């Protein structure tokens, strides 16, 4: 058995797919220290620069002093504390839904939502580029799975017409994590209403960044509130801390509370993190200057590479993928950037489709224009 694993590892290495996580020796921020080397980091999803914000840190410290460092048990046994309840109330109010439920991670939220809403005899219609947690959620649900080409509304409608089921669910990222584009949410809601389906939206990369006051992709797309929508936002990216939440109608949240296994059967997140998240939520609401700076960095990067061979995918978000194609080449380019003091992750299959390996440039409001200038200059030198 060990020999078989060793052969499979050798195959991954030969295909340029071996992954080795670096060990960071400095806090999350625009500058990272790895093996004693200082690198400008374009690898983090800390879009607003809140992971190391003093106000959020102070709130975490206050939370630890008051509530300790552990929750003790699952939320339904003895792990639901006052900061958790207040965070759920504030999050629901912020995104405009009656109720919200806090999860320890976005992955746990997604694998809780889908199997709780659909099961055997039901059907899920999922965008082909959905995050892995959504793919796993469908498999766990045991519902019939139907994947449509990325953003192809006509193909989705044909599937909805031809695949009747007891209950149906349309499943999509709001901002796609490796392409940075935004799903056609109004059109997806129209299809959900016409074909009597749930619309589950994973806004991991839109919450805090898009929409008025960072209220997320629903606000960005001017999407009307609908009882069909189940909205998931993560709190370890733009919010800078950890966790996730689901917002929906009260009946949906009550049902998730009773049946979502990834909420029921896991130890609750420490209340100190909820305390920190309450501070982060205030900073998100007040963070228009951060979002404007982030938009300026995005424009700077795109204009700086406009006349080069580097193909930037059409993304209006903080995620700016540079398509390279070949697995070995993208690793070599990432290594060349590291030699120039820049950390830009090389993303390869199965995270992205075969032949679409890329550099994933992740911008943060904590970056200075000089950081982006250094990246542009390095890529132009490698052109």
What are the tens digits of pLDDT across the range 108-143? 999 999 999 999 999 999 999 999 999 999 999 999
Q: Is the pLDDT of residue 278 over 90?
A: yes
Residue 251 pLDDT class (50, 70, 90 cuts): very high
The pLDDT score that the predictor gives to residue 19 is 84
Q: Which of 104, 133, 141, 177 is catalytic?
A: 177
Residue with the two structure tokens 């009946």: 251
Is residue 237 part of the annotated active site? The answer reads: yes
Marked catalytic residue, from 80, 84, 146, 205: 205
3.40.640.10, 2.40.30.20, 3.30.70.260, 3.30.300.30: CATH of 54-285? 3.40.640.10
> What is the widest separation between alpha-carbon atoms in the chain?
59
Residue from 220, 237, 293, 367 carrying the catalytic annotation = 237
Q: How confident is the model at residue 20 (pLDDT cuts 50, 70, 90)?
A: confident
Residue 234, annotated as binding a ligand: yes
- Does residue 205 have a known ligand-binding role? yes
Tokens standing for residue 129: 């580029």
Nearest to 298 by CA among 323, 322, 315, 285: 315
| 147-200 per-position pLDDT tens digit | 999 999 999 999 999 999 999 999 999 999 999 999 999 999 999 999 999 999
Give the neighbor-by-neighbor strand order of the sheet with 144-148: 99-103, 244-248, 229-234, 198-202, 168-173, 123-127, 144-148
Has residue 306 got a pLDDT over 90?
yes
Of 17-21, 34-38, 207-211, 283-287, the range with the lowest mean pLDDT is 17-21
Residue 17 has pLDDT above 90, yes or no: no
| Banded pLDDT at 15 (limits 50, 70, 90) | confident
In the chain, the percentage of residues whose pLDDT exceeds 70 is 100
**Position 243 confidence tier, pLDDT thresholds 50, 70, 90:** very high
Asked if the domains at 14-48+288-381 and 54-285 fall in one CATH topology, the answer is no
Domain borders along the chain are 14-48+288-381, 54-285
**How far, in Å, CA of 286 to CA of 239, rounded?**
12
Note the CATH number of domain 14-48+288-381.
3.90.1150.10
Residue 18: the pLDDT is 86
> Given pLDDT bands bounded at 50, 70 and 90, which one contains residue 57?
very high
The response to whether 317 counts as a known ligand-binding position is no
Closest residue by Cα to residue 284 from 51, 30, 24, 1? 51
107 annotated to a ligand binding site: yes
Tell me the per-residue pLDDT of 77-116, one tens digit each, with 9 for 90 and over.
999 999 999 999 999 999 999 999 999 999 999 999 999 9
Contacts of 216 (CB under 8 A, 6+ apart): 95, 174, 203, 206, 207, 208, 210, 231, 233
pLDDT for 383 beyond 90: no
175 DSSP β-pair partners? 182
224 is catalytic: no
Reply yes or no on whether 177 is catalytic. Answer: yes
* Whole-structure pTM value: 0.95
The pLDDT assigned to 339 comes to 96
Q: Is 308 annotated as a binding residue?
A: no
The β-bridge partners of 198 are 169
Does the annotation list 195 as a binding residue? no
Average of pLDDT values for 242-268?
A: 98
Average pLDDT over the chain reads 96
Percent of the chain whose predicted confidence (pLDDT) is above 90: 95
Exposed, middle or buried, 238 (CB in 10 Å: 0-12/13-18/19+)? Answer: buried
Name the nearest CA neighbour of 121 among 170, 160, 163.
163
């Amino acid at each position: 058995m060990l020999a078989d694993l060793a052969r499979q590892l050798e195959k991954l290495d030969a295909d340029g797919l071996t992954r080795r996580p670096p060990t960071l020796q400095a806090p999350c921020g625009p500058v990272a220290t790895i093996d004693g080397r200082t690198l400008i980091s374009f690898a983090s999803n800390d879009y607003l620069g809140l992971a190391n914000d003093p106000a959020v840190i102070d709130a975490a410290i206050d939370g630890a002093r008051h509530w300790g460092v552990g929750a003790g048990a699952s939320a339904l046994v003895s792990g639901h504390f006052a900061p958790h309840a207040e965070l759920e109330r504030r999050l629901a109010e912020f995104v405009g839904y009656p109720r919200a439920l806090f999860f320890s991670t976005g992955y746990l939220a997604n694998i809780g939502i889908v199997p709780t809403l659909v099961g055997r005899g039901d059907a899920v219609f999922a965008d082909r580029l959905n995050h892995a947690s959504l793919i796993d959620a469908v498999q766990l649900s045991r519902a019939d799975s139907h994947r449509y080409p990325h953003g192809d509304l006509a193909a989705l409608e044909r599937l909805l017409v031809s695949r009747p089921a007891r209950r149906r669910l349309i499943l999509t990222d709001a901002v796609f994590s490796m392409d940075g584009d935004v799903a056609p949410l109004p059109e997806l809601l129209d299809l959900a209403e016409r074909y009597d389906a749930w619309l589950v939206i994973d806004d991991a990369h839109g919450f805090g960044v898009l929409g008025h006051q960072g209220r997320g992709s629903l606000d960005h797309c001017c999407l009307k509130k609908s009882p069909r929508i189940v909205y998931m936002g993560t709190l370890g990216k733009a919010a800078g801390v950890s966790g996730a939440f689901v917002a929906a109608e009260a009946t949906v949240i009550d049902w998730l509370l009773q049946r979502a296994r990834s909420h029921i059967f896991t130890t609750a997140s420490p209340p100190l993190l909820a305390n920190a998240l309450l501070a982060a939520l205030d900073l998100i609401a007040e963070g228009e200057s951060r979002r404007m700076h982030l938009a300026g960095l995005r424009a700077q990067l795109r204009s700086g590479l406009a006349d080069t061979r580097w193909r930037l995918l059409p993304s209006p978000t903080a995620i700016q993928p540079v398509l390279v194609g070949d697995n070995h080449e993208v690793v070599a380019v990432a290594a060349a950037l590291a030699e120039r003091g820049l950390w830009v992750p090389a993303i390869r299959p199965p995270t992205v489709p075969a032949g679409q390996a890329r550099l994933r440039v992740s911008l943060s409001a904590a970056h200075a224009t000089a950081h982006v200038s250094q990246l542009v200059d390095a890529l132009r030198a490698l052109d």
